[in-house]
Each structure stands twice: as C-alpha cells, then as structure tokens.
Amino acid sequence: MNVADIAQTRYTTKAFDPAYTLPADIVEQIETLLRFSPSSTNAQPWHFFIAASQEGKQAVAKATTGPYAANEAKVLNASHVVVFCTRAAIDEAHLQAVLDKEEADGRFANADGKAGQHKGRSFYVDMHRFERRDAQHWMEKQVYLAVGTLLLGAGALGVDACPIEGFDQKILDDVLGLREKGLTSAVIVALGKRSEQDFNAKLPKSRLAAETVITRL
Ligand SMILES: Cc1cc2nc3c(=O)[nH]c(=O)nc-3n(C[C@H](O)[C@H](O)[C@H](O)COP(=O)(O)O)c2cc1C
C-alpha cells in the first residue's frame, strides 16, 4: 500500500448510491478509526453519532435545509453518516474518566505515574480553560483530527466519503438533543459508495503546488 496513492485517489463524493450498505466489518473498522484517533493529551473530547438507519439519516438530514440543501441527498443516500460532536465543556469528571481508562488499559506502572499523567493533562486543559479561554476551540481542533483520520482511513478501506460542514448546527443539536448531553455538533461525514451521478468522481483533484505549501529547511 502506498499512502500517497490513497491521499490522491480519495475524494469528496457528491452523490451516493442509495442501495449500497457498508459491510459490518468495514463499519467496525471505521468505529475503530474514530476511537483511536489521536488527541492532545489524549483528552478525547468527542462523541460520534453514527446514523445507519433511514430514520437516523432522516434525523440528521433535518439540518441540511435552506442554504445547506445541496447536502441533503448526500446524508440521505449515504450508507452511514457520522456526526462528530465536541464536548461543551472539559470538566474534572471527563478528565477522571480518561485517566481511569488509561489505568485500566495498563498505562501506569504505579500511582505516581497516574498522578503525573493527570497533572500534565490538567496543565494543558487549565491553560485552555482559564488562560487562553479557548477550550471549546481547542477541543474542536481535536475533533477535526478524527475527521482527517476517518477520511484517509475510508480511502484506505475503499469507502467513499463526503465531509460536510454545510449544515445547520443549531437544528442538528436540537434534533439529537446534544445540549442535554453536554455536546455540540461540529462536522458530519457521509460514507458509502459513489453513484453514477457523481460528477466529482470524474474530475481531477486539485491542490496548490508543493513549492507553494511546503518549505524544506
Ligand atoms: C471540514 C470539511 C467540510 C466540508 N464541507 C463540505 C460540504 O458541506 N459539502 C460538500 O459537498 N463538500 C464539503 N467538503 C469537501 C471539500 O470541498 C473538499 O474536501 C475539497 O474541495 C477537497 O477535495 P477532495 O476532498 O475531493 O480532495 C468539506 C471538506 C472538509 C474537509
């Protein structure tokens, strides 16, 4: 496998085959990609909703109205639709849950190791909460890493994908009851198989030249 080939052949699918459903083992790999995405201090400030049923996709599609109507068919015709959510707050209970899971997963040789990890993570978290006051923005950056992980991973799995920022965030938050869950929606990724109508599949990809975006020191 050449990862550069995947980067150059994966693309944003604009029309999905509504008759296609992703196989269960592929969905399982996609869930693993989401869970194992890296995040600063391993804070994992996210939650993923995965709509596979028609009912679930219709609920998500309620947010693709008005100026976002061009995205409605992508959500409805995809096999699976992932809604990436950011935590509304990064609080002590979440940090403790992450720490306890790290301990259960065998990350710490002793209590000092566990305390050191908590102190280090809290340093960064508190910096974003109280000094920079950009905790929400910082958490959303981590969520976008999961988007990138999924898009490249989907390409490697031969799954077509469409990342979608074009949706009404307030509607989606209301539909999924996110405020009550302490979450906000950030971005959607529709997954499935391209249809014959997908004009974008036939277009060449376009990126700025290497000399423009890369400086080798
Ligand atoms: C975060 C993000 C949000 C995007 N939102 C939309 C969207 O709402 N609708 C859409 O059709 N494409 C959307 N795109 C697709 C981009 O236009 C596309 O990734 C870009 O033109 C590069 O093309 P490629 O993905 O085919 O390589 C989005 C892409 C990203 C990364």
The string of DSSP letters for 193-213 reads -B-TT-GGGGSPP----HHHH
Distance CA 27, CA 7 (A): 20
Determine the 3-state secondary structure of 185 from DSSP: strand
Ligand 1 center to residue 127 CA distance, Å? 32
Please calculate the CA angle 71-77-80 and round it to the nearest 5 degrees.
95
In this predicted structure, what is the pLDDT of residue 1? 76
For the chain, give the percent of residues with pLDDT over 70: 100
| pLDDT tens column, 9-25 | 999 999 999 999 999 99
DSSP state of 12: B
Domain ranges of the chain: 3-89+135-213
DSSP state of 128: I
- Phi first, then psi: what are they for 161, rounded to 5°? -145, 150
| pLDDT tens column, 81-126 | 999 999 999 999 999 999 999 999 999 999 999 999 999 999 999 9
How many secondary structure helices (H) and strands (E) does the chain include?
Answer: 10, 4
Binding-site residues, ligand 1, Cβ < 6 A = 11-12, 14, 71, 162-166, 187, 205
In this predicted structure, what is the pLDDT of residue 159? 98
Threshold 0.95, pTM exceeds: yes
Ligand 1 center to residue 113 CA distance, Å? 42
Ligand 1 center to residue 12 CA distance, Å? 6
Distance CA 188, CA 26 (A): 18
**Residue 71 burial (C-beta neighbours within 10 Å; 0-12, 13-18, 19+):** buried
Q: Which CATH number fits domain 3-89+135-213: 2.10.10.90, 3.40.109.10, 3.40.30.10, 3.40.50.620?
A: 3.40.109.10
Residue nearest to atom 13 of ligand 1 (CA): 164
Q: What is the rounded radius of gyration, in angstroms, for the C-alpha atoms of the chain?
A: 19
Note if 57 is an active site residue: no
Residue 10 CA: nearest ligand 1 atom is 27
Note whether 160 and 55 are within 8 A (CB): no
Q: Which is catalytic among the residues 14, 57, 140, 193?
A: 14
